[in-house]
Amino acid sequence: MEPILEVKNLTKNFGGLCAVSNVSMTINQGELIGLIGPNGAGKTTLFNLLTGVYEPSSGLIELNDDGQKIQLGGLKPYKITGYGISRTFQNIRLFKAMTVLENVKVAMHKNIRYGTIAAILRLPSYYSEEKWVEEKACELLKEVGLYSKRNEMATNLPYGEQRRLEIARALAIQPKILFLDEPAAGMNPQETADLTKLIHHIREKYKLTVILIEHDMSLVMNICERIYVLDYGKMIANGSPEEIKNNEFVIKAYLGEEI
Amino acid sequence: MRKEYLTKENIAWLLLAVGSFVICSLLMNLGIINSYYQITLYNICINIILAVSLNLVIGICGQFSLGHAGFMCIGAYAAGIITKMMPNFGGFVLGILVGFVLSAIVALIVSIPTLRLRGDYLAIATLGFAEIIRILVQNMKITNGAAGLNGIPQLTSWPLLMIGVVVSIVVVCNYTHSAPGRACISIREDEIASEAMGINTTKYKVIAFVIGALLASLAGALYACNFYVIKPSQFTFNKSIDILVMVVFGGMGSMTSSVIAAIVIGIINMVLANFSEIRMIIYGLALVAIMIFKPTGLLGQRELSFKKLFSSRKGAK
């Protein structure tokens, strides 16, 4: 298996606070990776570094784009997205006053081949592209089971469906790597089970590499092939779910140690 | 003609535009709209262009601009100076084009550095820039300083004005209902998510801002060639606020409401013309009342949509 994303000695300082320190990880093509750790361990900061929201203080992020090595560190988020890396957010960030369908259409932006002039003059390319976008977006919504709600405002969806819409939106980018930031947060066991199925399904169908942050251990241990554990910004362990369960550093980080 | 253009909705819009044009022309010919009312009507049309173009920047893209009068000023002076030299239709068109180029350049200079940042920096920058433009105009020889330009040929006619209004509304609405327009709305909704969806946020903010500036300059040109006289004091911060009031009063993000607000405010101004001292007080009170009772504006984000109208009637049958 070939590594698709390599992170080398990544560090992020906020003033005196070292939120992510010297983290290295290798992610192979098609893997489903879990990223866990106690609250405030720096998991979301790591995601934000990988997707360009923050600029790394030091270290390398290297994407293997069909044999071509691309440095992602310091690139703008929209450029990183352009390389096929998409994400969802821990605190849902949908475009609230847009419909469900429009939310997905926005994410298809980079594949739309008409410009401002064609839009204003309504050239034929506008109509053909818009038709294609509409079909493609509807297809994705059917996949996540939100097709019947396509004309509702995103803000009016129930919580679990908003989470699913975020995933649909992330898929609309046609990503190679998908980052899911706590996809099951606040879900009941039934919704979590549905979500697990959905993650499995989209991964198979789109040949995705998935990296997810999650606190729901049943989900993580269930679906992840490999797990990285962060604590106080440092990578303290990595391995299969079985190895992680029995790792003494991980147990110490979560439960504390005997005095 | 491709079938996409000849939908029921588009025909309905066309009928609405032609209908209002014909009715107003008839009323003017019959003398029901006398020359006094006519000034109000022309003012309303110019204000519609200004309000719709500012709404694109503020309501659709979510970027607060306080310098719309500055771009109007550029358009007005460009058209004024050129039509004084070439008092014919060709000069008018050339004036509008020169205004476009100048306001696009100024808009790019203001927006590229400020729109790279998140937040309300654009408001401060545009506020300053509009003042700079006004003061430049006040002190340059070619613009005849504080006295302003006199005797600009009256080239704006009622059909031209109506074409200007329709073109502005069509440009803004077509832009809004397209991929670049969706990108702008997503920036208004959540800039971080928008960027994560692969949208170059700076680019689309700048595009919306430049389109807004171009239309404001068109409004300025129509204004200059209608009222004979332009003075720097007509393009102060107060004028920008006047336009902003229309956008907020109607509802941010809705073009229908900007048009209605421009008409309503135009009529209110005409009625209150004899009480100009209390006009600003009434403006202020109206704004406060709207902010308390209907913070989204009169119409909120609702639009007049023939598409919905037709489909709801079909549903009723």
Chosen for mutation from A51, A106, A163 (greatest number of chain B CBs closer than 10 Å) is: A106
Beta carbons within 10 angstroms of residue A96's beta carbon: 15
What digits encode the pLDDT tens for the residues A67-91?
888 899 889 999 999 999 999 999 9
**pLDDT higher than 70, residue B314:** no
Q: Does residue B249 form part of some domain?
A: no
Instruction: Pick the residue from chain A with its C-alpha nearest to B193.
Output: A93
What tokens appear for A240 in the block?
Answer: 């299969």
Q: Report how many Cβ contacts below 8 Å link chain A to chain B.
A: 104
Q: Could you give the C-alpha distances from B8 to A160, B12, B14, B143, in angstroms and in order?
A: 39, 6, 10, 48
Alpha-carbon dihedral angle through residues A123, A124, A128, A130, given to the nearest 10 degrees = 20
State the distance between the two ends of chain A, measured CA to CA, in whole angstroms: 43
Residue B72: give the domain boundaries: 37-235
Cross-strand bridge partners of residue A10: A23
Confidence band, pLDDT 50/70/90 cuts, at residue B145: confident
B91's tokens: 């000069």
Does residue B118 lie in a domain region? yes
Task: Verify whether the Cβ–Cβ distance A109 to B183 is below 8 Å.
Answer: yes
Q: Which residues of A touch B201 (CB under 8 A)?
A: 78
Indicate the angle between helix axes A124-144 and B179-189, nearest 10 degrees: 50
Neighbours of B101 (CB within 10 A): 13
What ipTM, to 2 d.p.?
0.90
pLDDT bin (cut points 50, 70, 90) of residue A259 is low
Residue A80, in any domain of the structure:
yes
pLDDT 10s digits, A13-55 = 998 889 999 999 999 999 999 999 988 889 999 999 999 999 9
Considering the domain boundaries, does residue B18 fall inside one?
no
* Most confidently predicted of B34-38, B217-221, B293-297: B217-221
What backbone torsions phi and psi does residue A22 show, to the nearest 5 degrees?
Answer: 55, 45
| Residues A95, B189: C-beta atoms closer than 8 Å | yes
Q: Does residue B300 form part of some domain?
A: no
Cβ pair B196:A126 closer than 8 A: no
Specify the residue for token string 């050339």: B94
Torsion of CA B211, B216, B221, B225, to 10 degrees: 150
Q: Is the pLDDT of residue B148 over 60?
A: yes
Determine, yes or no, domain membership for A77: yes
* Pairing, β A177-181 against β A209-213: parallel
Please report whether residue A197 resides in a domain.
yes
Interface residue of B178, B206, B312 to substitute, partner A, most A CBs within 10 Å: B178
Please answer yes or no on whether A89 and B198 come within 8 Å at the CB atom. no
Position B285 in a domain: no
Q: Is residue B229 part of a domain?
A: yes
Q: What is the mean pLDDT of chain A?
A: 90
Banded pLDDT at B196 (limits 50, 70, 90)? very high
Written as one letter, the residue type at A135 is E
**Domain-embedded: residue B303:** no
Contact A106 B197 (CB under 8 A): yes
**Residue in B214, B68, B74, B64 with CA at minimum distance from that of residue B133:** B74
User: Is residue A117 within 8 angstroms of chain B, CB to CB?
Assistant: no
pLDDT in tens, B29-70: 888 888 888 899 999 999 999 999 999 999 999 999 998 999
Return the closest-CA partner of residue A129 out of A147, A146, A108: A108
Residue A46's domain comprises 3-97+159-255
Chain B contact for A48, CB < 8 A?
no
**How many CB atoms are located within 10 Å of the residue B307 CB?**
13
Whole-angstrom distance, CA of residue B160 vs CA of residue B95: 14
Is the residue at B26 inside a domain? no
Does the residue A62 lie in any domain? yes
Q: How does DSSP assign A216-248, residue by residue?
A: -HHHHHHH-SEEEEEETTEEEEEE-HHHHHT-H
pLDDT given at position B317: 43
* Helix axes B158-176 and B35-55, enclosed angle (nearest 10): 20
CATH code at A195? 3.40.50.300
* Nearest CA among A137, A122, A138 for reference residue B180: A122
DSSP, residue by residue, A31-89: -EEEEE-STTSSHHHHHHHHTTSS--SEEEEEEEETTEEEE-TT--HHHHHHTTEEE--
Q: Which residues of A touch B207 (CB under 8 A)?
A: 116
Q: How many domains does chain A have?
A: 1
- For Cα atoms A74, A237, A32, give the angle at the middle one, nearest 5 degrees: 70
End-to-end CA distance of chain B: 31
Q: What is the number of domains present in chain B?
A: 1
